[in-house]
Amino acid sequence: MNLFTTIVYFLHDRKVIQEKIKGLNEYLNHSEDPKIKDLTGSYISKLKKTRSLKEAISLEEEFYQYIRKYKYKER
């Protein structure tokens, strides 16, 4: 892989990660539960630190699994 291709992949990955952060910010803004707000903020900061798209996807899946479990427990 040449340098140009590496840069293009990196920029694409960063764009996708930024979209994931944007989605979580929207979720954060519409949430009423303080525990969910804290958790969402925590995952947003983790996503901001990650460089890998694979890791970002994994974090997002982990977040939504935890939210589903949390909401199920509240019922």
pLDDT per residue as tens digits for the range 33-51: 888 889 999 999 999 999 8
pLDDT exceeding 70 applies to what percent of the chain? 97
How far is residue 21 from each of residues 10, 28, 29, 40, 46, measured CA to CA in Å? 16, 10, 12, 10, 10
Q: How far apart are CA 39 and CA 22, in angstroms?
A: 15
What pLDDT does 75 receive? 66
What pLDDT does 73 receive? 78
32 pLDDT tier (thresholds 50, 70, 90) = confident
Residue type, 50: T
43's tokens: 């995952």
Cβ pair 25, 44 in contact under 8 A:
yes
